[in-house]
A and B are shown apart, each in its own frame.
Chain A
Amino acid sequence: MDLVQLQRQLVDYRTSLYHEGFLDEQFTQLQSLQDENNPDFVVEVVSLFFEDSERLLNELSKALEQQVIDFKRMDAQVHQLKGSSSSIGAHRVQKLCIVFRNYCEAQNVEGCLKCLQQVKHEYGIIKTKLESMFQLEQQILNAGGSIPV
C-alpha cells in the first residue's frame, strides 16, 4: 500500500471511530496538544490509560467476587475509570461508567456484574482500535510521510 493510501485509510479509520461513538472530541483535544516537543504525547497518555484501566478492571472483578462486597470502594474505582476515560475521549467506556456507578449506589450486584462485563468488552474494543490506529500512524511515519490532521 502506498503512502497516500495509508494516509487515506488512517483518516477514514479515525473518522469512523468518532462516528461510531468510540471517541469524542476530547481525543481531538489530545491530538492538538501533541507537538514537535512531545511527538508521542497521545500514545503516552493512552498507554497510561490502558495501564490504569486494566488495573481498575481487575480490582473491580476481584471486588465482585468477595463475600461482602465493598460498594463504596467499587464506586470510587468506577469513578476513577470514568474520569480517566473522559480525559482521553473514550466515549463508550465513559458512558458505561455512569450506569455502573448507579448500580454501585443501589448496591445491585447483578447490575454491577453485567456492567462490568460490558465495560470490559468496550474497553477491549477501544484498546484494539486505538492500537490499530497507532500502528497505521507508525506505518505512515516509517514510509516517510506525515500524519494527516
Chain B
Amino acid sequence: MNSSNGNGSMSTASSSGAWNGRDQFPAGLRVLVVDDDQTCLMVFEKMLKTCLYQVTKCNKAETALSVLREHKNEFDIVISDVHMPDMDGFELLKHINSEMDLPVILISADARKQVVMKGVTYGACDYLIKPVRIETLKNIWQHVVRKKARNTF
C-alpha cells in the first residue's frame, strides 16, 4: 500500500512500516509533532516537510493521544514539546510508552539537567533543546530503526 508524504509525491512506504526495498527511506517517515506554541509548530512542520517526512501536527497532547490511539501503526515517531498546559510531554510520553511501541523525542527550550534527566528516565529516546536545527531532524529516523531492531532481536 502506498502512502503519500506532505509534498504530494508518492513514497514506497508500506503501512506496516517495513523498510525492505524502501530506497527513498527516510523520506515518508510518518511523524506526529506536538507543541502548544504555534510559532514553534509552524517551524517544525516546515523543517520536517523539508526532510521529506509525512507530518501531522497537534497543539495539544490530548489530541495527539487520540490521534495515535485511533490511527495505530500509522506513525513511526512522535516529537513532543515538554511544557504544555493540561497534559505535558512527560505524561504524553508515559501514555505512549504504556499503550504503544513508538519512539518519542522530547523537545524543550528548557535545558536544565533535572528536566532532561526526567525525560530520559521516563523513556524518551532523545531530548532536544530548542531551537532545533534541521540537521538534527534529518537524523531522527535512526530512533525508529533502532527501536525496531531492538524489538526484533
The reply to whether B134 and A84 form a contact with Cβ atoms under 8 Å apart is no
A29–B130 CB distance below 8 A: no
Complex contact A76–B39 (CB within 8 A): no
**Cβ of B9 to closest chain A Cβ, rounded Å:** 12
Q: In terms of DSSP, what is the predominant structure of the interface of chain B?
A: mixed
CB distance from A121 to the nearest CB of B (A): 20
- Chain B's closest residue to A46 (CB) is B39
Q: Is the CB of A79 within 8 A of B38?
A: no
Given the known A-B contacts A79-B110, A80-B37, A83-B109, are A29 and B42 also in contact in the complex, defined by CB atoms under 8 Å?
no
B133 at interface by CB-CB < 8 Å:
yes
| Across-interface contacts of A41 in B (CB, < 8 A) | 46
Q: Is B83 an interface residue (CB 8 A)?
A: yes
How many A-B residue contacts, CB cutoff 8 Å? Answer: 57
Please classify how large the interface on chain B is, using the bins under 10, 10 to 19, 20 to 34, 35 or more.
20 to 34
Contact A80 B131 (CB under 8 A): no
Tell me how far the C-beta of B57 lies from the nearest C-beta in chain A, rounded to whole angstroms.
Answer: 13
Q: Does A118 contact B (CB under 8 A)?
A: no
**Residues of B contacting A79 with CB < 8 Å?**
83, 109-110
- Across the two chains, which residue of chain B brings its CB closest to A94? B109
Q: Interface size for chain A: under 10, 10 to 19, 20 to 34, or 35 or more residues? A: 20 to 34
CA distance A83 to B133 in the complex (A): 14
Would B131 and A26 count as touching, CB distance under 8 A?
yes
Instruction: Please state if B109 and A29 are interface contacts (CB–CB under 8 Å).
Output: no
Contact flag A83-B37 (CB < 8 Å), given A33-B46, A45-B42, A88-B43? yes
Q: Does B140 contact A (CB under 8 A)?
A: no
Most buried by A among B46, B83, B110: B46
Complex Cα spacing A86 to B46, Å:
16
The 9 closest A-B pairs by CB, nearest first: A83-B109, A84-B39, A86-B131, A26-B131, A48-B39, A49-B39, A87-B40, A82-B109, A33-B46
Q: Which residues of B contact A (CB under 8 A)?
A: 36-40, 42-43, 46-47, 50, 81, 83, 85, 108-110, 130-131, 133-134
